[in-house]
Every structure is written in structure tokens, then in C-alpha cells.
Homo-oligomer: A and B are copies of this chain.
Amino acid sequence: MSTTPETTTENTPPAPAPATNDVVEQMRIALDGPWRDLRERIRGELPWEAISGTPGESIEAQRERVTRQVLALADKGYGSIGFPTQYGGTLDYGASCVAFEMEAYGDLSLLIKNGVQFGLFGGAVSRLGTDKHLAAYVPDIMSGKLMGCFAMTEVGHGSNVAAVETTATYDAQTDEIVVHSPTVSATKTYIGNAAKDGRAAAVFAQLVVPSVGDVADGEEETPSKGVHVVVVPIRDEDGNPMPGVTIGDNGVKGGLPGVDNGTIAFDHVCVPRENLLDKFGGIDETGTYVSEIDNINRRFFTMLGTLVRGRVCVGGGAGAAAQKALAIAVRYGEQRRQFSAPGSPDELVVLDYLAHQRKLLPRLAKSFALRFTQNAMTARLQELEDAATSSEKETPGADHEDAQRELEAWVAGMKAQTTWHALDTIQACREACGGAGYMATNGLTQMRADIDVFATFEGDNTVLMQLVAKGLLTEYKDQWGDLDIAGTIAKVTAQTVEGLVENTLKRAGLQRLIDGATPRNDETALDSRGWQESMFSERASHLLETAAMRLRKAGKSDGFAVFNAAQDHILAAAKADIDLRIFEAFKEGLEAMPEGEARKLMAKVFDLYALASIEEDKGWFIEHGRITTSRSKAVTTRINELCAELRPHAVDLTKAFGIPESWLENDLIDLGQDRAGVTA
């Protein structure tokens, strides 16, 4: 273990005492979560060169470099993680998410190119295909021999995947599927691996299977089977586009310069019937469409659901980038001096200023919270995977389907929250490093530019939060439907009482009266986990219940108008739900730690996360009588105290993420320490 980078102390003033290292190690164990061994392996075996980028080089050069690195990583076995072992895959499904997180400390163009090849293209083939597809494609995908695209997004349809216009029409005469782009807006776009490397594409298209023979009345008559995925060769061995395939280059983007995003249009391209990935719906030898899922919507969502890993990865990758940005900015803040305190000849290090602590430490605490949640979510993904694999059933049962839908909502919300957090955090870190932060050599600006699109791809964040809300509202409706009369009355009564109390508070200021009478209680409550938890959970349930009530008023004719007028409310309910899940994950992570200094320190980080979240939304909490105005002010005071208490541990806290020093030092800003007037 002496070679593991995290025990290296060089370049890290002040030198931490051994005891501190134990604390760091304990925290790191907690943050590493269930796939700690894999994280340790990657830390030990991946040299920086294998994953580092070259900001500023031409797009052509970066694309070449990234392709080289993808193949080199595949050679090391990184392409095989998470594929079924019977086809040469290694480790488990969740491990592929953890590997993705670790790779996100490196160049993000490389990360996304890896994600496209092994996660999206490889994932589509292995999750939507059947044995024949896995046997035919997976080994070559894992080795990088067959580079492929995930051709879902179209010019006209990003978020609304169900409405893609590309068609895949079965022709019984030739026993082939004809893939076609009927309109300009049906052109596939932003497709990674398309512009340069892709040989094949997993194409999302409306499957059309004309009925065979006579169809009885009442039977399914429509030839439209909804969105399915077909593997289509797009380039020949020499790299030329296949007949009928038109490939374009998206060219310069806001970031990810090493990813060859492009457009693909199809002009009646014929592929064998077997190229349809038919796990959830296929065409048999008689030319008849067969699926165990009759409902076209359920089939669509089941298919998309199997691809949930992509969003787990995107969120995890963004979270990792934010961690790295904080590691860079905190170290800079620990060394950079500017302005002296009155009476002192030396300038202060900037992290000693409250404003600087306020900029970095709450974001650091949130990064801890998100990492715990990411671990829990990945573990849950693996749990459901294990359950599905151990089951002999071809199609998942209703319980499993519910669990899967719930996971999808959680993942969707976390993807949105983590990518937004990353954008906000990397920007704050850039500004906290001043002009030095703007220099490409210091790693922050390319990271920021690359992460930008994480808020949009794999689902637009706002649309994803809408999806969370939809899940919550459906579940809520289901619960109400299931309640017996007595239960309904009890619930209605409880809500009415709550409404009454809230109105009474509003009118009579009862809460403020209580508050005036029990000021001590306010103060002692701030660090109480139970109180913090009640804030998160009451906000989530209140927002959901009131959103549901608003929507219940909608009639047939004004349905959209009612929904739209409540959209901000609905999105707030979704965010509150995700925030609660994050809180719970942090709590579980903390409680799993052994008693000791590390746990005490972690508890303070948790307090900072919880209180900063409450402060951010203090308007809501006061509006709804959840905190008094004096308690709200006390929250702010306590956050400032926590910043001061955590400030000496700031560098150690960033070390707890376990980013190898050798992956960081290239990005550590040269401070030109040789200066006049500094004696410390």
C-alpha cells in the first residue's frame, strides 16, 4: 500500500500529522463505498497519461489522442467492466459506473468517448439484444474493434424520444428491415463516435411491421410497434459511409473536443431482420411482431429503463469533476495570499476569509452528500440487476418493475442535481482561483466547458426533474387509490389540520410566539439530525401533497393549463424529494462509520450540508412555518461557525475523495511562491 498516492504528503502544506491521515483514510473508506477495491485498483494502476487530456490542441489531434486512449484502456480491460461474464465481461454492472466515476478525474472527452462506446452502444446491444447479438458484437465492442454509436437524438427530438421520426420498416419480401430518415428533422445528431470512428450504430427508430395474413377483429391492427433499436452498419472497413448513409460532423462544440459527434441520416438502408435488438419485442420467422409486453408505452419505458446506467454514470462523472475542482481550488485557497490583516506584515491566505470559505466549503459538503448518494444509487442498481439476473423470468415481474421505475426516478433526479451542482461548483472554483483558474493548464476551464453539456445530454435536466415529479405524483395517486375510506378520512383530516395550523400560524403568528418563548430550543435544535431530517422530509411531503391537490382540480379541457401554472411547484416537489434522498444517503453513510474523529468530522460536514441546504431555501421554510425567522438567522450564524470549524480540515476533506496526487499535480496551480514580504 506504500505506493498508493493518497499517503503521499509532498506539496501539501502544512504537513498532516499521522492522526490526521487516519481521519482522512477513515473518511475515504466511507466515501469509497461498496466498490472500494475497484477504486483502489484504479488508483494504483492507471497512470495519469492514460486518462489526461491536451487542452488547446486542435480538434483533430484531440480526437486522435482520445481514440488511442480508448483503445489503450480497452487493452487494459477497462472496456469489459460490467458486460455479462459469459461473453468475456468482468466485474459486475455497478462496477462499470464506479470505473466511469474514477475516469472522470481525467480528460472528460475520453470519459464520454468511453461512455459512448462501452456504455451507450455496448449497453444498448447487451441490454436490448438477445444472445445472438451479444455473441456477435460484445467481444468486439469490449476490445474497441467495433466502434459504435448510440443513435437516439434527432434534430427534431431530443427529450421527446418517443416521437423520433426515423422509421425501421420490416419488409417481408426480403426479410429485411428498412431504416429511413423521412424528414430533415429525423436526422440523428450530436451522436458520439459518428463523425470519425463509428462502424455501426444502435439506431432508435419507429418499428413498423405490417400485419401478416388476416387479422381478426379486435386484435392489434396497427403496424406501428413504437420505438425499437436496430443495429445498422454505417461505415465499411475502409471507413467510408455505407450506401444510403449520410454522415456529417457536428464540428466545434462548447467542450468535449475529443469526441467526434456527428449526424447520421438514412436513405432506405436495408439490414437483416436479425439486426433488430429484440429482447423486449422482435419479429419472428413468419414476419410477425412478438413481444411479451403488449402495451406500447410500457414496452417503450421498459426498454429505456434498461438504459438507466447511462444517467447513473453521467451524474457520477459530473460529481467526480466537481470533487476534483474543489481539490484544486481548496489547495489554491490554502496557499494563495492576498491583502494583509491590519497590523500584520503578511498577506493572508485567501481561504482564511469567510467569503472564500462560504464559496467553497458548503459546495464541498454537498459533494460529500452527493458521493454518498451516488454510492447508494449504484448499489441499488446492482441489487436490481442481481434480482433480475437471478430470476428465470424473461420479463420482469410487477414488483421488480415498480422498483425499477423508482430507481429510474431517483437516477433522473440525481443526474440533474449532480450535473447542476458540478457546473455551479466548477465555476465557483474557477473564480476562487482568479486568473490562474482561467489558464487551461490548471484544469478547471476545460472541465467546466466539458461538463456544461452534462446538464443536457442523457436527458435535459428540467425534463428529468419533471420525470421525477411524474413518478412521485403517480405513486401518490396510487397510494390514495389504495387507501380505504377510514384511511382516506384520516389522511384528509391530517392535511386539513396541517392546513389549519398553517393558516393559524399565518394569521396569529403562533409560531413566532412559540419561538419567543423557547429561544434555547431553537439553538440546540440546529445540530439535531432529527430536526434537520424533519425539515427535509416535511418539505418534500408538503410540496408533493399540495402539488397533487392543485393537479386534482384539473379538468379535461384545462388539464394542460392547470399543469403548466403549477409547473414550478411540481419541479420544487421533485427537487425536495431528491434532496431528501440525498439527506438519507448521507445519514446512512455517516452511521456506517466507526465511532471516532473521522466520524465526528464527517458529522460536521453533514451539518454544513444540511444547514446550507435549509438556508438556500429558507424563504420556503419560513413561508410554510417550518422555521421561525430567528431560527433562520441562527442557521446562517451556525453555517459561518461551521465554515470556521471545518476550514483547518479543508485540504484533508478534499483528500477524502481519494483522487491520486499524481492525477492532481498537473492541475495544481503554480503559485510563484517566491515573493517579497511573505515570512510564513
- Chain A 330-347 against B: per-residue CB contact (8 Å), 1 yes, 0 no? 000000011101110001
Interface residue range, chain A: 35 or more
A624 CB → nearest B CB, Å? 8
Please report the C-alpha to C-alpha distance between residue A453 and residue B436 in the assembled complex, in whole angstroms.
Answer: 10
Residue of B nearest to A167 (CB): B676
Q: Beyond A160-B339, A622-B629, is A186–B675 a contact (Cβ under 8 Å)?
A: yes
Please report the C-alpha to C-alpha distance between residue A568 and residue B505 in the assembled complex, in whole angstroms.
Answer: 31
Please report the C-alpha to C-alpha distance between residue A509 and residue B505 in the assembled complex, in whole angstroms.
Answer: 9
Please report the C-alpha to C-alpha distance between residue A8 and residue B585 in the assembled complex, in whole angstroms.
Answer: 56
Contacts of A471 in B (CB 8 A): none
- Partner of A423 from the list B156, B427, B622, B630 (CB cut-off 8 Å) is B427
- Chain A 614-625 against B: per-residue CB contact (8 Å), 1 yes, 0 no? 010011001111
Please report the C-alpha to C-alpha distance between residue A622 and residue B628 in the assembled complex, in whole angstroms.
Answer: 10
Asked whether A430 lies within 8 Å of B674 as measured between CB atoms, the reply is no
Counting every copy of the chain, the complex holds 2
- Partner of A353 from the list B353, B440, B512, B567 (CB cut-off 8 Å) is B567
Asked whether A629 lies within 8 Å of B625 as measured between CB atoms, the reply is yes
A309 CB → nearest B CB, Å? 21
Question: A385 at interface (Cβ–Cβ under 8 A)?
Answer: no
Please report the C-alpha to C-alpha distance between residue A128 and residue B434 in the assembled complex, in whole angstroms.
Answer: 27
Please report the C-alpha to C-alpha distance between residue A438 and residue B192 in the assembled complex, in whole angstroms.
Answer: 14
Question: A452 at interface (Cβ–Cβ under 8 A)?
Answer: yes
Please report the C-alpha to C-alpha distance between residue A506 and residue B637 in the assembled complex, in whole angstroms.
Answer: 17
Question: A460 at interface (Cβ–Cβ under 8 A)?
Answer: yes
Contacts of A187 in B (CB 8 A): 672
Chain A contact residues: helix, strand, loop or mixed = helix
A16 CB → nearest B CB, Å? 25
Contacts of A560 in B (CB 8 A): 341-342
A136 CB → nearest B CB, Å? 31
A343 CB → nearest B CB, Å? 8
Question: A441 at interface (Cβ–Cβ under 8 A)?
Answer: yes
- Partner of A254 from the list B165, B448, B457 (CB cut-off 8 Å) is B448
Residue of B nearest to A162 (CB): B339
Please report the C-alpha to C-alpha distance between residue A247 and residue B507 in the assembled complex, in whole angstroms.
Answer: 70
Please report the C-alpha to C-alpha distance between residue A567 and residue B671 in the assembled complex, in whole angstroms.
Answer: 25
Contacts of A439 in B (CB 8 A): 250-254
Asked whether A253 lies within 8 Å of B440 as measured between CB atoms, the reply is yes
Contacts of A358 in B (CB 8 A): 567-568
Question: A559 at interface (Cβ–Cβ under 8 A)?
Answer: yes
- Partner of A158 from the list B435, B511, B512 (CB cut-off 8 Å) is B435
Contacts of A342 in B (CB 8 A): 559-560
- Partner of A430 from the list B254, B444, B509, B672 (CB cut-off 8 Å) is B254
Residue of B nearest to A461 (CB): B431
Given A157-B338, A158-B434, A509-B512, 5 more A-B residue pairs with CB atoms under 8 Å apart are: A253-B439, A253-B440, A254-B446, A356-B462, A568-B636
Top 5 A-B residue pairs of the complex, sorted by shortest distance between their CB atoms = A509-B509, A254-B445, A56-B252, A507-B516, A185-B675
Binding site for B on A (CB under 8 A): 55-56, 58-59, 153, 155-160, 163, 165, 182-187, 189-190, 250-255, 337-339, 341-343, 347, 352-356, 358-359, 423, 427, 430-431, 434-435, 437-441, 444-446, 448-449, 452-453, 455-457, 460-462, 466, 505-513, 515-516, 556, 559-560, 564-565, 567-568, 571, 615, 618-619, 622-625, 628-630, 632-633, 636, 640, 671-677
Would you mind naming 11 contact pairs between A and B with Cβ atoms under 8 Å apart?
A: A158-B434, A159-B339, A185-B671, A185-B675, A186-B676, A253-B440, A343-B559, A353-B564, A512-B512, A618-B623, A625-B629
